[in-house]
Amino acid sequence: MIRRFLSILFLGLSFGFAEAQTSSLYLSYCDGKLAETGASRMGVDVTISAAVGFPAATLAQYSGARLTTLRLGLCTTNSDMSDMTAWVRNSLTGDILAEVRMEDFKTGWNDVTLEAPITIDGTNDLYLGFSYKQSRSVKCLSFVGETHPMGAWIGRDDSWEDYSTRDMGSLSIEGIIEGEGLPQFDLNVLDMKLLSGEIVRDENLPFEATVKNVASQPISGLLIDYSLGDGAKTGQISIAQTLNPRDEVTVAWEVPTKDVPAGTCIPADITVLLPDGSADEDMTNNSFHFDYATYEAGTDFEHIALFEEFTTEKCVNCPSATQRIEAALEKGYFDKVILATHHAGYYTDWLTIEADREYCWFYNDGGSTYAPASMLDRTLTGMDKDFSPVFNPPQSAKLCERFDIALARPALVGVNTSLQYDKDSRQVTISVEGQRLDAFEHQCQEPRITVFALIDSIQAKDQTGAGEGYYHRHVTRAVLTDVWGDVLTWNDDNTFSNTYTWIIPEEYREEKFEAVAFVSNYDANDPTNCCIFNSSYSELGSQLVAAIETIHADNNKTSSCFNLMGQRCDDHSHGFIVIDGKLFLR
């Protein structure tokens, strides 16, 4: 897929200082980068071509400048390549505006000077490319960085294919333009993020931005100009950061909010400026607007995280992944992180339910899924892909780091579950209650409540990668709400209360029933915007044990044994038994 960002102005072009001339700029999608491993276009005794295109709308601001040089990046070269030429056209199949035969092409960057510079008129597209004959496939093509819509055209003989649809990056092909009046100072803010849109009143607002020098002169320092609460607080923050032409850097800062009135939608306007009065020649990409909310210190709720695992009996690596997960939970997280498993991701098995299949949507990888896999609060961790909350469960120490990151996020909504059980009908009633802070309305635009019915310790039938006696843990058996959650209806006091029922099937031991409820955002178009904000867990087994302990105390018996139905039994009985108020598995 092509991932586009708010920041990509100039269609992602980079313009930087070339040689020692202040009036020279690079025309490039690749930022001078070359891939370590090349790609090839298959074919025997064919002509292969590669090209990048730049639209007239972008080139218009450089009307009158001259394209003087092409730079072509090759990952490898060998005797299977011949008749290499560099060329410039107005379209992929149009007339050649300039062509240079390359007698001594080499691995790495090849600078090709045009015999006659091409004047940019600002009304026509330009395509920069090269062609060569191959006797067999050669992995010389370099794809790097982000994928841009005109940044990856590959041809074979007279047929062209748009490789930008393959999300491989952009080709290492650049041009150098020279002329009068080219930008001297231009700072492009590629991306800016408010790292936490909900803060304790009077705490600082944390920001992060990726900025790039897209002109020909060095930039020494940045100024962050801010305005909060429609001008209630203004100021500037200085950042010591030097950017040479084509340099790109991520910077972070905090904006003080003390004395700004509290609220749930406070405007924050941020502009990145050049220091010392230097004029940025394009200010259209320097300013961003945000809204943030505040809440009082100590009013947030305990954060309980939900860890969802994708697993199946056909997955040979899933048993070891489960061991890593349980090893992490044993390091003090059992009461802080809830575990639920979905039997999908790598084929399916006899425990797969339809909801498991639907949750594979979170992979967001063109239908590609795998197992073992997992999600933590269905939230991006910053450690994995930026388009999916699904990740491969790491070693337990790394998993603990992820737990800590998730649990550190303030919970502005609280959730609580309780169970009632009728043994005759095997019906369990799950009561779910919750409360939110006012700031939660800013944090979550489409809140939903989801309730899982789980069964723990289901004996496997044929688990690949495990021996006999393997049990599946915390298996999702039903979703008692809509699979994407029910719309939350809030009372006037910011609370909600819902009730759900489920009849435990006879094939499952009732003491193994578990209920999980969580509040999350719903976004049908973006798997990265369905974050879980808080969760709750209740298990039926502990309640049954408590009931048995009560029976035991009432009867004033000592050294007596009971099963989980409260019936007296022999202390050599198998299964769960309670001896002197303590639970044992035999």
Among candidates 49, 46, 37, 70, which has minimal Cα distance to 142? 37
- Identify the band that residue 216 occupies on the pLDDT scale cut at 50, 70 and 90: confident
CATH of domain 305-542: 2.60.40.10
What mean pLDDT comes out for the span 470-484?
97
Tens digits of residue pLDDT in 223-235? 999 999 999 999 9
Q: Is residue 389 a contact partner of residue 555, using CB atoms and an 8 Å limit?
A: no
What mean pLDDT comes out for the span 557-577?
54
Report helix, strand or coil for 323. helix
pLDDT given for residue 569 in this prediction: 64
Tell me the C-alpha distance between 325 and 308, whole Å: 11
Question: Which secondary-structure segment (H or E) carries 400?
Answer: helix 396-407
pLDDT given for residue 265 in this prediction: 95
- Identify the band that residue 577 occupies on the pLDDT scale cut at 50, 70 and 90: low
pLDDT given for residue 245 in this prediction: 86
pLDDT given for residue 276 in this prediction: 74
Residue type (1 letter), 272: V
Percentage of the chain modeled with pLDDT above 70: 89
pLDDT given for residue 25 in this prediction: 86
**Residues sharing a CB contact under 8 Å with residue 491, sequence separation 6 or more, in sequence order:** 497
Report helix, strand or coil for 188. strand
Of 186 and 19, the one with more pLDDT: 186
371 has pLDDT over 70: yes
pLDDT given for residue 8 in this prediction: 30
Strand order in 413-422's β-sheet? 413-422, 427-436, 495-503
CATH of domain 187-295: 2.60.40.10
DSSP string covering 190-236, please?
A: EEEEES-SEEETTPPEEEEEEEEE-SSS-EEEEEEEEEETTTTEEEE
pLDDT given for residue 180 in this prediction: 82
Among candidates 488, 406, 411, which has minimal Cα distance to 447? 488
List phi, psi (to 5°) of 65: -75, 165
Residue pointed to by tokens 């997992």: 374
**Residues sharing a CB contact under 8 Å with residue 526, sequence separation 6 or more, in sequence order:** none
The full set of domain ranges for the chain reads 10-178, 187-295, 305-542, 556-585
Tell me the C-alpha distance between 406 and 302, whole Å: 12
From residue 564, give the alpha-carbon distance in Å to each of 306, 549, 579: 28, 10, 11
**Residues sharing a CB contact under 8 Å with residue 452, sequence separation 6 or more, in sequence order:** 340, 476, 478, 479, 480, 515, 516, 517
pLDDT given for residue 467 in this prediction: 85
298 has pLDDT over 80: yes
Angle between helices 396-407 and 318-329 (to 10 degrees): 50
- CATH fold of 10-178 reads Jelly Rolls (2.60.120)
pTM of the model: 0.73
- Identify the band that residue 7 occupies on the pLDDT scale cut at 50, 70 and 90: very low
* Average per-residue pLDDT for the chain: 89
Q: What is the DSSP letter of 144?
A: E
- Identify the band that residue 565 occupies on the pLDDT scale cut at 50, 70 and 90: very low
**Per residue in 210-246, is it b (16+ CB within 10 Å) or e — as a string?**
bbbbbbbbebeebebebbbbeeebeeeeebeeebebb
Does this chain's domain 187-295 share its CATH topology with 305-542?
yes
Q: Is residue 251 a contact partner of residue 228, using CB atoms and an 8 Å limit?
A: no
pLDDT given for residue 579 in this prediction: 63
pLDDT given for residue 559 in this prediction: 46
pLDDT given for residue 377 in this prediction: 98
- Identify the band that residue 578 occupies on the pLDDT scale cut at 50, 70 and 90: low
Tell me the C-alpha distance between 385 and 379, whole Å: 11
**Per residue in 556-570, is it b (16+ CB within 10 Å) or e — as a string?**
eeeebbbbbeeeebe
pLDDT given for residue 87 in this prediction: 98
145 has pLDDT over 70: yes
Q: Is residue 202 a contact partner of residue 254, using CB atoms and an 8 Å limit?
A: no
- Identify the band that residue 563 occupies on the pLDDT scale cut at 50, 70 and 90: low
190 has pLDDT over 50: yes
pLDDT given for residue 468 in this prediction: 87
From residue 92, give the alpha-carbon distance in Å to each of 147, 266, 384: 19, 50, 36
For 16, the token pair is: 């930087």
353 has pLDDT over 60: yes
